[in-house]
């Protein structure tokens, strides 16, 4: 039945239980209501119509068959059936709410995945835009052409991979043992077209962790680009690879770090800049809050959140230390792994 049907309107307005036999015998008691034909007008097998009320809203009604005779419902019977109807309505409303919540969560998960993919595509587009902007000046330089082709090929491969992940509606990681030094160098190379150009440093021996090399590289690349955004062209951006506790791990902005170190040996990549810095309140309240950005329409506000969540999935941790006006140190700490038989 529709919400505009006569009986539906009557049940919503009066919230009465309808005795179909009584309706047939004394229609004025029910404001001369005309029941739908399928109920048989009190002469068929149906006898009672019980409204299913949730708070003050009618979400349906139950039709009960005629019981054994003699049967004449009194006020207590009517009140009991209306109470039962309200209990049934609560369960029906809860079922619908759970169904809608499940659908909302599915859409939320898909939208979040899409936002992450678009964030990575934005970084790739920025890299390609730099090639285009420098092409007019350097297009006759063979070294530039070779580098541009290599960058375009790499970007195409990364975009195809991201689109495949979007079609599967999941972010699948292919973990293997990778060199943090190689990850840092690769991420820094992708950001060389902008000032200040990032410089790599730290220990000379390889530091091995287990991670998806492309995903970890893109996260470090994002941190470097953020550092470049925060710094003027005369500033500096350094990428330092270290083993936690080794010299170089603490070469950064002179600010105290209150978080405890991981209890297992870890490799660390630290991105250090001499830029604008961040307040303690911003780090605590906004830095890792997804979709909260200070870049306006240019940013999506998920880079730091994405970095933290991925490093956590590896069993690691992200630490941030910053002083306003002096700079920021952003450290990714990941548990160490032994070197693979074939190096990255």
Residues 198 and 293 in one domain: yes
DSSP codes, 38-59: GGGGGSSSEEEEEEEEETTEEE
d(CA 182, CA 164) in angstroms, rounded, equals 25
| Predicted local confidence at residue 108, as pLDDT | 65
The mean pLDDT of 43-66, rounded to a whole number, is: 87
Q: In Å, what is the CA distance from 103 to each residue of 98, 100, 107, 171, 324?
A: 9, 5, 6, 20, 43
pLDDT of residue 166: 59
Residues 6+ apart with CB under 8 A from 55: none
* CA pair distance 303, 332, nearest whole angstrom: 13
Using an 8 Å Cβ cutoff, are 230 and 321 in contact?
no
pLDDT for 256-300, tens place per residue? 343 444 556 889 999 999 998 899 888 888 888 766 555 544 444
Residue 234 sits in which domain range?
176-335
**Higher per-residue pLDDT: 270 or 306:** 270
Q: Residue 317 in 3-state DSSP?
A: strand
Residues comprising the chain, all counted = 344
Task: Name the residue with higher pLDDT: 37 or 64.
Answer: 64
State how far the Cα of 18 lies from the Cα of 78, in Å rounded to an integer: 9
Rounded CA gap, 268 and 318, in Å?
10
135/131 Cα distance (integer angstroms): 6
Whether 71 and 191 map to the same domain: the answer is no
Burial of 27 (0-12, 13-18, 19+ CB in 10 A): middle
Total of domains in the chain: 2
* 128 vs 177, residue with greater confidence: 177
Q: Is residue 319 part of a domain?
A: yes
Asked whether residue 133 is domain-assigned, the answer is: no
Residue in the block written with tokens 């500096």: 236
Residues 186 and 56 in one domain: no
Q: Does the structure show a pLDDT above 90 at 87?
A: yes
* Domain's final residue, options 73, 100, 127: 100
Q: Could you tell me if residue 167 is inside a domain?
A: no
Judging by DSSP bridges, how do beta strands 237-243 and 198-202 pair with one another? Answer: parallel
- Which of 51, 67, 100 represents a domain boundary (last residue)? 100
Please state the pTM of the whole predicted model: 0.52
Residue-level pLDDT at 300: 40
The pLDDT value recorded for residue 96 is 86
């Amino acid at each position: 039945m529709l919400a505009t049907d006569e009986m539906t309107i009557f049940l919503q307005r009066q919230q009465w239980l309808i005795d179909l036999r009584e309706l047939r015998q004394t229609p004025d008691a029910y404001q001369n209501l005309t029941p739908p034909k399928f109920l048989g007008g009190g002469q068929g097998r149906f006898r009672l119509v019980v409204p299913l009320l949730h708070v003050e809203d009618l979400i349906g009604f139950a039709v009960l068959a005629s019981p054994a005779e003699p049967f004449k419902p009194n006020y207590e019977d009517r009140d009991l059936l209306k109470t039962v109807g309200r209990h049934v309505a609560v369960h029906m409303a809860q079922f619908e709410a759970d169904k809608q919540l499940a659908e909302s969560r599915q859409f939320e998960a898909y939208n979040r995945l899409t936002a992450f993919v678009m964030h990575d595509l934005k970084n790739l587009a920025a890299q390609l835009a730099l090639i285009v902007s420098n092409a007019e000046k350097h297009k006759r330089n063979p070294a530039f052409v070779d580098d541009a082709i290599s960058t375009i090929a790499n970007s195409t491969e990364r975009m195809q991979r991201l689109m495949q992940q979007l079609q599967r509606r999941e972010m699948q990681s292919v973990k293997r043992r990778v060199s943090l030094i190689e990850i840092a160098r690769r991420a820094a190379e992708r950001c060389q077209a902008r000032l200040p150009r990032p410089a790599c440093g730290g220990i000379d021996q390889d530091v091995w962790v287990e991670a998806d090399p492309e995903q970890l590289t893109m996260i470090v690349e994002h941190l470097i680009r953020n550092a470049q955004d925060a710094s003027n062209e005369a500033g500096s951006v350094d990428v330092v690879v270290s083993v936690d506790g080794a010299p170089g791990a603490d070469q950064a902005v002179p600010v105290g770090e209150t978080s405890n170190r991981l209890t297992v040996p870890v490799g660390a990549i630290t991105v250090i800049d001499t830029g604008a810095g961040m307040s303690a309140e911003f780090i605590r309240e906004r830095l890792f809050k997804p979709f909260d950005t200070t870049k306006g329409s240019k940013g999506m506000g998920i880079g730091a959140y994405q970095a933290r969540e991925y490093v956590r999935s590896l069993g690691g941790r992200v630490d941030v230390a910053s002083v306003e006006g002096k700079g920021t140190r952003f450290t990714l700490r990941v548990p160490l792994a032994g070197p693979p038989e074939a190096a990255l």
